[in-house]
Amino acid sequence: MTNSTLPNTATAMTTPPPPSAAPGVMVGSQLNARIPDGDPETAWLRRRQEYRVVNPANRKKFTVAVVGTGLAGAGAAAALAELGFEVHAFCYQDSPRRAHSIAAQGGINAARARKVDNDSLYRFVVDTVKGGDFRGREAEAYRLGQESVRVIDHMNAIGAPFAREYGGALATRSFGGVQVSRTYYTRGQTGQQLQLSAYQQLMRQVQAGTVKLHPRTEMLDLIMEDGAARGVIVRDLVTGEIHAQVADAVILATGGYGTVYYLSTLAVGCNASAAWRAHRLGAYLGNPSMVQFHPTCLPVMTPWQSKTILMSESLRNDGRMWVPLKPGDERAPGDIPEAERDYYLERKYPAYGNLSPRDISSRAGKEQIDSGHGVGPMHNATYLDLADAIKRLGANTIWERYSNLLEMYRIAVGEDPMQVPIRIAPNTHYTMGGLWVDYNLMSSIPGLFVGGEANSSYHGANRLGANSLLSASVDGWFVLPYAVMDYLAGRLGQARPALDSTAVLSAFERAQARTEALLQVRGTRTPAEFHKQLGNYLWEGCGLNRSDKSLKTAIGQIRALRSEFWQDVLVTGKGLGVNQTLEKAGRVADFLELAELLCVDALDRDESCGAHFRIEHQAAGEAVRDDDHWMFASAWATTAPLDFATNPTLRFTRHAEPLHYTNIQPARRNYQ
């Protein structure tokens, strides 16, 4: 089933996927990602020519359910509705505008290559594929770059006020260690402006009646008929009632699962339930262990902290990272003389210093914290010190550059970053992994499409800065409309399941029973307590550094915690009406299953690559890939035994999608 017919394949795995180092894992088949054969640069064009279309008069006969209204979901819903399909859009927030795409700060990359800095589509693809440490698809990186041009034009036209040069042309900045300037931005709130623009276009279709919008509605389960996705079971978060929406195709654009770590830069409501429910019904989960940690987050300041706020990496352009040389040093930063400070990034990575890539900086910071050099009241941060830059450039210049960040720090921490060093710590930020999809963004369940951070495409083992807004926008506006229409064209004349069909009723009853079960345990620990505990296990066992030992420990802990959860969780209130404790419990229940697979994938992948750092596989702190054995994307299937109700153990099967690189040669990163 592999793409062995690919003619120009220069690099590919030399041996079949190895057996798993994780106990109990079965090795499955090799997957075909349905990438067009031949030159990856023209793949998308050729694929679009192959796609079928639906006659405009027939389009209103089809219903598409879109879950999630971020950049990918709102884009796909609006674009499909513009084409004339009937769309049902769901979001758990009170308004579709609030999806977490809104929090992205830095910008959006595009391979427009207008300047004479010698940027090009090729260079964009190289950066994306290399950034992903050769664990993403080359042909998709091309598609990302090619459609990026239309994304910028579309976003500009529908209201995103991109920064402009005084001459009127779009301004760009360089971002995330890329040597050219291809990041388009609106101050430090690019995600907000793109998200609001997409939201507005969605609302335009809502007004036109082509999109039926269901805010404050959470997906609980997937309706399956004859092995294909045919709708969703949802809970109205206001009335608490459970409803069914049948559809010809379902799009999940539900974002990443970073909140499985409890603390992350994600919104507190972000969850993996929709994706995990689909996974349990047969949608493979791709590379779940590929999680990006961001080096410059505000540290945890109280035991009650609910999330970590991201501080843009741009601060590292002028800030120096340091910790006291002496472990447990309680002195105020100003009282620690220069000779007793360790500028650890400058020391370890003299070439890149404070501008070392995200994963390296994050690991170096955690190393300092773990070895007792952490600063702040909870000894869980390192300093990012602007003092030298203030001395060199003057306080005004620094304030102008970073005023919004410094002001946010001032509000959040209550200290003046112009006077005392900023405290930062690495934290969970983005999940490259997600539901496995083929080149058409369809999961292993026919009719179930996945867009944006919820899928595992584009970014491989590590995402390049400013590529997340891009991939979500490309999926939503410029891939899913084509791919979903192609799929629907094949369904012309076929009926959707009736509301009283077995397909709908079984999913409906599953969701009801699960909700009932959560309410009936009536134990002693709150869902949040389980979530926090799970986060601790994951952060220690499957965080920045992973080892055989840490992962096996974490897997054991997670399994035990999951059993405890179903015996001891305490959910007050009722199933009807607003019940946020119940919502939380349902999400945590799914996290407790996902977390195990996350660790199993990390244990299984016996190499380091990108954000996945196995301490067994490193050369002087650098990830060492094993292209001979691991140049494939893992796509996991999870099965539960028949007696799962009394024996909540999960069985995992790892399928493999071999990766091929035609135009770009795999190489090792080096930042020393």
Whole-angstrom Cα distance, residue 71 to residue 589?
Answer: 27
Residue closer to other proteins, measured from CB, 4 or 55? 55
Helix (H) or strand (E) run with residue 401 in it:
helix 395-413
Please report how close the Cβ of residue 280 comes to other proteins at its closest, in angstroms. Answer: 7
Whole-angstrom Cα distance, residue 201 to residue 210?
Answer: 12
Whole-angstrom Cα distance, residue 671 to residue 317?
Answer: 16
Three-point CA angle 658, 292, 128, nearest 5°: 55
- Which residues lie below 8 Å from residue 480, measured CB to CB, with a gap of 6+? 72, 75, 76, 79, 80, 251, 441, 449, 451
Please report how close the Cβ of residue 168 comes to other proteins at its closest, in angstroms. Answer: 2
Please report how close the Cβ of residue 92 comes to other proteins at its closest, in angstroms. Answer: 9
Phi, psi of 247 (to 5 degrees): -155, 165
Could you tell me where the DSSP H helices lie in 232-324?
273-280
Residue closer to other proteins, measured from CB, 126 or 517? 517
Strand partners, 320: 385
Q: How many whole angstroms from its chain centre is CA 63?
A: 27
What's the distance, Cα to Cα, between the start and end of the chain in Å? Answer: 41
Please report how close the Cβ of residue 632 comes to other proteins at its closest, in angstroms. Answer: 29
Residue closer to other proteins, measured from CB, 191 or 324? 191
Q: How far is CA 316 from CA 297, 322, 464, 611, in A?
A: 12, 12, 17, 20
Residue closer to other proteins, measured from CB, 200 or 553? 200
> Which of 552, 550, 554 has the alpha carbon at shortest distance from 537?
554
Please report how close the Cβ of residue 76 comes to other proteins at its closest, in angstroms. Answer: 10
Please report how close the Cβ of residue 414 comes to other proteins at its closest, in angstroms. Answer: 6
Provide the token pair at 181.
């300037």
Residue closer to other proteins, measured from CB, 325 or 495? 495
Is-contact 274 252, C-beta < 8 A?
yes
Please report how close the Cβ of residue 71 comes to other proteins at its closest, in angstroms. Answer: 13
Residue closer to other proteins, measured from CB, 37 or 241? 241
Please report how close the Cβ of residue 385 comes to other proteins at its closest, in angstroms. Answer: 21
Residue closer to other proteins, measured from CB, 32 or 95? 95
Largest distance between two CA atoms of the chain:
77
Residue closer to other proteins, measured from CB, 327 or 573? 573
